[in-house]
Amino acid sequence: MKTTYFYILLLISLLSFQSCESYLDIKPKGYVIPQTVEDFERILNDVSLTKFLSDGIEILSDDFYNPSLERDKNVDQVDYRLYAWLKDPYTTPTDYSYYSYWNMIYARIYQYNAIINGIDEAVGGSESRKKVAKARARLGRAMGYYYLVNIYSQPYNKESAKTDLGVPLIQTNSINDPIPSRGTVQETFDFIINDLNEAIVDLPSSSQSVFELNKASGYGWLARTLLIIGDFQGALNAAEEVLALNNTLVDYNTEYDIAVPSVGDPYYIPKAGHQFATIRSQPENIHAITFDYTIGMAFQYVAKETESLFSENDLRRINITPNYANLEDINDWDGTYTYMGSTSYEYNVGIATPEMYLIKAESLARLNQTSDALTTLNKLRKHRILADAYEDFQTNNSIQAIKWTLEERRRELLFKGSRWFDMRRLNQDPDFGFTAKHYLKDGSFFELEPGNPRYVLTIPETALTDGITQNP
């Protein structure tokens, strides 16, 4: 029964076509059977495939602050359970439907599998068109498994990756096929990397929309993946491939001005005649995906430690705003900040050029090429720091260069879906390890110590089988 239930979850997205797409034949009743290349392309362009994660991944991160929670109150609610890093954050059918990454991502993998397994026999399109669709589906499937293994498996460790449990690598779209076991973390990453490399060969060099996958986005996801497993030379090579195709950086000095209120901290606003770029018009974006909740983390509180990483001359303060909203008297401001994102409503958590500069810089520093690492890092910073106050980072110490790069990641990628994965890969690092904290309004806090089992989320009970065992 659990096998059937699991695949029913995976069918949800495709079955939604029944009610709104008359072009698909239904054979047999209840199953959508795409038959033309256009059918498969419409599945590939389904809006659900632009949304891989709920914003709960940021509630787990130490960049987030929630002053509304009280210790031991409403413990059954998802927001509390995530913020307190409790076991089994998702406990109800509604939680599983709307928040569980397991259900959400496997549903998308099912869609990609339908394309990978069916496009070769489709009619009405050229072979090159089929190859592009299949390559995009392979890349999409790799993205899904990237998230799953980095949420439901132990953080990658070269010494234990061949024995640590991975995630089920489902490659079929047939509900009659058995679900594979979890395999190992190493097998999962090998599968992801293979999918990425195969996809890159046939991906187009450009695309009509930032939501369509192309060669730069393929290399971008490869760079992310190789960084996670500590293959710094591979991550460097992949990031450089991306930047060879698109190395655009927006100079914030030309876009934003400082606003100095009569009371409270200064903040930044667009220059006269300028406006926030949309997710589609932002030239730094290479492949756009968003949180499933439309506005993501916009208007959510930023942890004080994170806010303090932004100097007063850092133009990225455009994204963090003093929380003056709803105050009758600005003197009542409590010193908290909220996140606005680049548009306040929609922003990219996918691949963009700033992250590629950061991956390149970190990889160079970890390979002891410190001078080149800082040249790369400073190039990004020059586009982000007030020109009159800018100074290059300078050091011969690779550890310091890595530290600066990791701090830049927190500033540049704030609430863009990366911090939880950085916490997982760094928390036990001998040079950069830490104990994460989530503060409550009364000043008390929850702690997540290095190596804590809660760095791995529990699998929904409904998905457990003989071959899919629960995490500790």
Whether residue 365 sits in one domain with residue 312: yes
Place of tokens 């090579």: 237
Q: CA distances (Å), 55 to each of 294, 365, 416, in order?
A: 10, 31, 9
Whether residue 220 sits in one domain with residue 163: no
Q: With respect to residue 456, please indicate whether it lies within any of the assigned structural domains.
A: no
Whether residue 166 sits in one domain with residue 257: no
Q: What are residue 205's phi and psi, to 5 degrees?
A: -75, -20
Whether residue 186 sits in one domain with residue 282: no
What's the domain range around 141? Answer: 2-172+179-207
Q: With respect to residue 252, please indicate whether it lies within any of the assigned structural domains.
A: yes
Q: With respect to residue 221, please indicate whether it lies within any of the assigned structural domains.
A: yes
CA distance 130 to 115: 9
Cβ-based burial of 428 (10 A; exposed 0-12, middle 13-18, buried ≥19): middle
Q: CA distances (Å), 29 to each of 25, 72, 271, in order?
A: 9, 49, 57
Place of tokens 């929670």: 69
Helix axes 127-152, 185-202, angle to 10 degrees: 150
| Bridge partners (DSSP) listed for residue 26 | 32
How many structural domains does the chain have?
A: 2
Q: With respect to residue 453, please indicate whether it lies within any of the assigned structural domains.
A: no
Q: CA distances (Å), 445 to each of 87, 192, 266, 309, in order?
A: 17, 37, 28, 20
Q: With respect to residue 130, please indicate whether it lies within any of the assigned structural domains.
A: yes
Is the Cβ–Cβ distance between 298 and 320 less than 8 Å?
Answer: no
Place of tokens 């105050």: 327
CA distance 270 to 283: 17
Report pLDDT for 267: 73
Q: With respect to residue 325, please indicate whether it lies within any of the assigned structural domains.
A: yes
CA distance 193 to 218: 10
DSSP string, 9-32: HHHHHHHGGGGT-TTSEESSTT-E
Whether residue 168 sits in one domain with residue 48: yes
Whether residue 161 sits in one domain with residue 100: yes
Whether residue 248 sits in one domain with residue 201: no
The distance from CA 108 to its chain's CA centroid, rounded to whole angstroms, is 15
CA distance 180 to 183: 8
Residues of the chain whose pLDDT is less than 70?
1-32, 262-264, 266, 294, 325-328, 330, 341-345
Q: What are residue 337's phi and psi, to 5 degrees?
A: -130, 150
If DSSP codes are grouped into helix, strand and coil, which group holds residue 437? strand
DSSP-assigned letter for residue 203: S
Fill in the amino acid letter for 363. S
Whether residue 164 sits in one domain with residue 243: no
Residue 308's domain is classified under what CATH number? 1.25.40.390
Report pLDDT for 461: 86
CA distance 39 to 32: 10
Q: What are residue 51's phi and psi, to 5 degrees?
A: -135, 100
Instruction: Give the tens place of pLDDT for each residue, 142-176.
Output: 999 999 999 999 999 999 999 999 999 999 988 78
Closest CA to 272 of 290, 260, 259: 259
Report pLDDT for 325: 66
Q: With respect to residue 470, please indicate whether it lies within any of the assigned structural domains.
A: no
Instruction: Give the tens place of pLDDT for each residue, 302-325.
Output: 999 999 999 989 999 988 888 876
Whether residue 287 sits in one domain with residue 142: no
CA distance 43 to 121: 16
Q: With respect to residue 278, please indicate whether it lies within any of the assigned structural domains.
A: yes
Report pLDDT for 171: 96
Whether residue 230 sits in one domain with residue 306: yes
Whether residue 161 sits in one domain with residue 67: yes
Report pLDDT for 326: 63
Whether residue 278 sits in one domain with residue 235: yes
